[in-house]
Structure 1
Amino acid sequence: MNKSLLIADATVEVKSPNQVFFCPEESQFYAQCLEKMVFSQGPTPEPIIEFGAGDGSPVIQALLSSSFQGLVQGYELNPDAHQLAQRRIEQYGLTPYYQVKNACFFDHTPATARYLIANPPYLPAPDNQLYMPSLHGGNDGAAITNQLLAHGCEQVMVMISAYSNPVDTVNYAIQLGYEVVDFMVTPLKFGYYSCEPKVRDSIARLKRQRQAFFSERIYFLAGVLFRQKSTSTTCLSEEFLKVMTAL
């Protein structure tokens, strides 16, 4: 496998941020979370499934930066993003390790899947009439995340925003039998998608309800590794929530 780092690819057609999700800082952090919390565990006995592969760059970056030899099976509804992902996977010779289907995750994922990764939509808004509708995460931003947790995988590594009801999300995961066994957190500035007026109004409402936590300029984004409860694991749920609600 080519271990050179993924960089801006001039050979791949550039898409509008309204067509394909584009936030280099967030994608790079997602890649770091994958590399350190998922791929470092070594190959899994079954494929790792990914909800919302996007343009594929986070998983590609993590694969190029690690020695992971397993298979990641991604699902991406957006045909433009799927096209970009396919081109990049082929360019870096990663087809044996990363495959992306232009299909709905919930319609095609095996019910027996054990390992799940995702940077799901988490923009809170009353409806999906946004710059990019597919980034809508429900009224509190956590709807898709909770739906993924309810899928019942043994291990889930998911990105969680501090302005998208993180406390209720973690409590819901605990009710489903999960524990937080690892996490990574980074500060991000509000950007193109999160600065849309409808979104900012929603997160302001959530903050008043103590369901969103952020400062004027930044919010925390976390990669959180959930695992079904085991007597051998250390639970970091309380520690994680202390960090996420600090602002």
Structure 2
Amino acid sequence: MKDIFFCPEESNFYSNCLENFVLRDCKNSESVVEFGSGDGSPVINSLLRNKFDSVIQGFELNTSAWKVANSNIDEYNLTNKYVIHNSSLFNYSQTDAEYLIANPPYLPAPDNDICMPLLFGGVDGATVTNELLSLGYENVLVLLSSYSNPTSTLNLAKENDYCVDKFMVLPLQFGYYSSEPKVKKHIENLQKHKMAFYSGNYYFLAGVLFKKCQESVTDLSNELAQVMTSL
């Protein structure tokens, strides 16, 4: 369905990050909220492969995706572990969940008049990601694109007392959504201002776990910044 985000490689990567950085470390009492659940497949795949005894509360504005996600949740009998609301996380006032997870919209463009408007990440692609890092959650897992002003996100994270706890990086080719001429041209302009980093048809997508800084936490921010700006 064209009105539902579809990129198996990216979804599998998100699922892998979720398993390695969140689900395997979660204690039974810890809860998780998700911004932008899409069709729910990354979380569903992760839950089917891991023992997780708490509840993930998802939020998805796209009604079509929300309906598909709930159908998938029912099919796999996960209604007691994964609940998705057809609303925005930004309207959800509670921040007492231990983890916030998201594969947020990160497409840069001059405006949201693009192939799939819900993928619009602001003029530099980092707007939604940066908003998520301003909500105050103790742990935040997000996917970070090298063509979406990653430096601004890492700087904002530091300002909000986050350290990079863990990360993994996937090289990806520009896909259906990022290859839309309007979007691709805008990314080229961002590159000229050192706000987008890519090489040829490849960019880096990083799965990053941000944690509120503590003295015992090793901050990998500089290492991640070097990787994301190396293209």
TM-score calculated relative to the size of structure 1:
0.91
Partner of 1:22: 6
- Displacement after TM superposition at 1:111 (Å): 3.8
Partner of 1:66: 50
Partner of 1:238: 222
Q: Deviations over 1:94-142 (max 9, x none)?
A: 1111110111111124143432000000000010000000000000000
Q: Deviations over 1:121-178 (max 9, x none)?
A: 0000010000000000000000000000001101100010000000111011001100
SS of residue in 2 equivalent to 1:174: helix
Partner of 1:8: none
1:169 matched to 2:153: yes
Please report the RMSD computed on the Cα atoms of aligned residues, expressed in angstroms. Answer: 1.1
Choose which of 111, 115, 121 in structure 2 pairs with 1:137. 121
- Displacement after TM superposition at 1:41 (Å): 0.2
Give me the identity figure in percent.
51
Choose which of 62, 71, 86 in structure 2 pairs with 1:102. 86
Tell me the distance in 2 between the aligned counterparts of 1:173 and 1:63.
28
Q: Which amino acid aligns with 1:158?
A: V
Tell me the distance in 1 between the aligned counterparts of 2:28 and 2:154.
25
Tell me the distance in 2 between the aligned counterparts of 1:111 and 1:151.
7
SS of residue in 2 equivalent to 1:150: coil
Mapping of 1:108-123 within 5 angstroms?
A: 108-123=92-107
SS of residue in 2 equivalent to 1:238: helix
Tell me the distance in 1 between the aligned counterparts of 2:216 and 2:229.
27
Tell me the distance in 2 between the aligned counterparts of 1:211 and 1:65.
37
Partner of 1:149: 133
How many residues of Structure 1 are paired with residues of Structure 2 in the alignment?
231
Matched-pair contact (CA < 8 Å) for 2:28–2:52: no
- Provide structure 1 residue ranges, at least 5 long, that are not aligned to the other structure: 1-14
SS of residue in 2 equivalent to 1:200: helix
Q: Deviations over 1:186-230 (max 9, x none)?
A: 011101100011111111111111111101111100110000010
SS of residue in 1 equivalent to 2:66: helix
Partner of 1:200: 184
Partner of 2:35: 51
Q: Deviations over 1:46-100 (max 9, x none)?
A: 4200000000000011111212222110000111000010011111111111110
Partner of 1:227: 211
TM-score calculated relative to the size of structure 2:
0.97
